[in-house]
Amino acid sequence: MALRWAVFGLAALLLNFPVIATAVTAFKAPGEVTRNPSLWIEEPTLANFAAVLTASDRLNIYHHLGNSLVAALIGAVLPLVVAFPLAWAMVRRGVGRGVLFPVVVNLRALPLIIFAIPLYMMYAAAGLLDTRLGLGLVLAVVNLPLAVLLLVNAVGDIPAELEEAARMDGARLPRLLLRVVLPLCRPAFVTAFVFGFITAWNEFLFGLILTTREAVPVTVGASFFFATAGGGVQWGMAAAVMVVAALPPLVLGLVMYRRITGSVMAGAVKG
Amino acid sequence: MAEIRLEGLSKAFGAHRVVRDVSLTVADGEFCVFVGPSGCGKSTLLRLIAGLETASAGRILIGGEDVTDREPYDRHLSMVFQSYALYPHMSVRDNIAFALRTARMPEREVARRVAEAARILRLEGLLERRPAQLSGGQRQRVAIGRAIVREPKAFLFDEPLSNLDAALRADTRVEIAALHRTLGATTIYVTHDQVEAMTLADRIVVLREGRMVQTGTPRDLYERPGDVFVAQFLGSPRMNLVPAAAEAEGVRLAGGARAFAAPWARGPLAQVGVRPEQCRIVAPDAGLVAGLVRASEYHGSALHVVVETAGGDRLSVLAPPDLSLREGEAVGVDFAPEAAHPFAADGTRLQGG
Amino acid sequence: MRSRAFENAVLASPLVLFLLAILGFPALLSLVYAVSETTFRTLTAPRFVGGANFAAVWADGAFWRAAWFSLRFGAITAVLQCALGLFLAVYLYPLIRRHGWMVAVLIVPMIVAPAMMGLMYRLVLHEFVGPVPHYLYLWFGWSPAFLSPANVFATVVAAETLQWTPFAFLLFLAAYGAIPQDLREAAMVDGTRPWRLFWRIELPLMMPTVFVALFVRFIDGFRVFDNIYTLVGAGPGGATTSLSIYIFETFLRRAEIGKAMAAAVLLFLASTLLFVAARALVLRGREGRG
Nearest residue to B28 (alpha-carbon basis) of B59, B4, B61: B4
- The closest of A172, A164, A179, A181 to B97, measured between CA atoms, is A179
Q: List, in sequence order, every residue forming a beta bridge with B341; answer none if it has no partner.
A: B273
Are A164 and B79 within 8 A, CB to CB? yes
The number of distinct structural domains making up chain C is 1
Q: Provide the pLDDT for residue A271.
A: 40
Distance CA B288, CA B295 (A): 20
C1: confidence class by pLDDT, cuts 50, 70, 90: very low
Cβ-defined contacts of C146-155 (< 8 Å, 24+)? C147/C231, C147/C232, C147/C236, C148/C236, C149/C235, C149/C236, C149/C237, C149/C239, C152/C232, C152/C235, C152/C236, C152/C239, C152/C240, C153/C73, C153/C239, C153/C240, C155/C121, C155/C125, C155/C231, C155/C232
Q: Which residues lie across from B66 on neighbouring strands? A: B61
Q: Which residue of A has its CA nearest to B71?
A: A167
Identify whether C79 is part of a domain.
yes
Mean pLDDT of C148-167: 94
Chain B contact set for A170 (CB, 8 A):
73, 99, 102-103, 150
3-class SS shares of chain A: helix, strand, coil, % to 5: 75, 0, 25
Flag whether residue A209 sits within 8 Å of chain C, measured between CB atoms. yes
Distance CA B304, CA B323 (A): 10
pLDDT band at C290 (very low <50, low <70, confident <90, very high): very low
CA distance A146 to chain B (A): 24
Which class is B4-227 in CATH?
A: alpha beta
Which domain range does residue C168 map to?
Answer: 61-289
Confirm whether C26 is domain-assigned. Answer: no
Burial tier of C51 (Cβ tally within 10 Å: 0-12, 13-18, 19+): exposed
CA A47 – CA A38 distance, rounded (Å): 19
Out of B78, B83, B87, the one facing A180 most closely (by C-beta) is B87
Helix axes A2-26, C152-177, angle to 10 degrees: 130
Complex prediction ipTM: 0.90
- The hierarchical CATH code for the domain B237-257+268-344 is 2.40.50.140
H helix intervals, chain C: 2-19, 25-34, 52-59, 61-98, 101-106, 108-111, 114-124, 131-140, 152-177, 181-189, 194-196, 203-222, 226-232, 243-248, 257-288
- Asked, for residue C13, whether it belongs to a domain, the answer is no
Higher pLDDT pick, C277 / B195: B195
Helix axes C2-19, A132-157, angle to 10 degrees: 140
Single-letter code of the amino acid located at A164: E
The Cα–Cα gap between A79 and C18 comes to: 9
Q: Is residue C238 included in any domain, yes or no?
A: yes
Tell whether the model's pLDDT for residue C282 goes beyond 80: no
* C33 and C184 Cβ atoms separated by less than 8 Å: no
For chain B, what are the domain ranges?
4-227, 237-257+268-344
Tell me which of B67, B81, B162 to substitute to probe the interface with A (most A C-beta atoms closer than 10 Å).
B81
* Mean model confidence pLDDT for chain C: 88
Cα A178 to chain centroid, rounded: 26
DSSP annotation of B5 reads: E
pLDDT of residue C288: 52
**Domains identified in chain A and CATH numbers:** 53-265 (1.10.3720.10)
Contacts of B96 (CB under 8 A, 6+ apart): B114, B117, B118, B123, B142, B145, B146, B149
Q: pLDDT per position in chain B (353 positions), as tens?
A: 789 999 999 999 988 999 999 999 999 999 999 999 988 999 999 999 999 999 999 999 999 999 999 989 889 999 999 999 999 999 999 999 999 999 899 999 999 999 999 998 999 999 999 999 999 899 999 999 999 998 899 999 999 998 888 888 998 899 999 999 988 899 999 999 999 999 999 999 999 999 999 999 999 999 999 999 999 999 889 999 999 988 888 888 888 878 888 888 777 888 999 999 999 999 988 889 999 999 999 999 999 999 999 888 999 999 999 888 889 999 999 999 889 999 998 999 987 76
Whether C126 contacts chain A with CB within 8 A: yes
Per-residue pLDDT of chain A (271 residues; tens, 9 = 90+): 789 999 999 999 999 999 999 999 999 988 888 888 888 888 898 988 988 888 676 678 899 999 999 999 999 999 999 999 999 999 999 998 888 988 888 888 888 888 888 898 889 888 999 999 999 999 999 999 999 999 999 999 999 999 999 999 989 999 999 999 999 999 999 999 999 999 999 999 999 999 998 999 999 998 887 765 545 678 888 899 999 999 999 999 988 888 877 777 776 654 4
Q: Is the dihedral of CA B214, B215, B216, B218 positive or negative?
A: positive
Q: How many residues does chain B have?
A: 353
In the chain, the amino acid numbered B215 is T
Alpha carbons within 13 A on the beta-carbon side of A90: 27
Give yes or no for a contact between C263 and C269, defined as CB atoms under 8 angstroms apart.
no
Torsion of CA C63, C65, C66, C67, to 10 degrees: 90
Probe site for chain A from B73, B140, B188 (most A CB atoms < 10 A): B73
Whole-structure pTM value: 0.86
pLDDT of residue C287: 60
**Residue C106 within a domain:** yes
CA distance B241 to A222: 89
Instruction: Confirm if C167 and C81 have CB atoms less than 8 A apart.
Output: yes
**Is A119 close to C22, i.e. CB distance below 8 A?**
yes
C-beta separation of C47 from C38 below 8 A: yes
Distance from B7 to chain A by nearest Cα, in Å?
A: 22
- What residues of B are in the A interface, CB distance below 8 Å? 50-52, 71-73, 77-79, 81-83, 85-89, 98-99, 102-103, 146, 150, 156
What pLDDT is attached to residue B307? 94
Does the pLDDT value for residue C217 go beyond 50?
Answer: yes
- In the predicted model, is pLDDT for residue C186 greater than 80? yes
Check if A57 contacts B (Cβ < 8 Å). no
Q: What is the pLDDT of residues A92-117, one digit of tens each?
A: 999 988 889 888 888 888 888 888 88
Distance between terminal CA atoms of chain C? 40
Which pLDDT belongs to residue B255?
81
Surface of A (146-205) touching B: CB under 8 A: 159, 161-162, 164-172, 175, 179-180, 183-184, 186
Q: What is the CATH number of the domain that holds C91?
A: 1.10.3720.10
Check residues C111 and C254 and name the one with the higher pLDDT.
C111
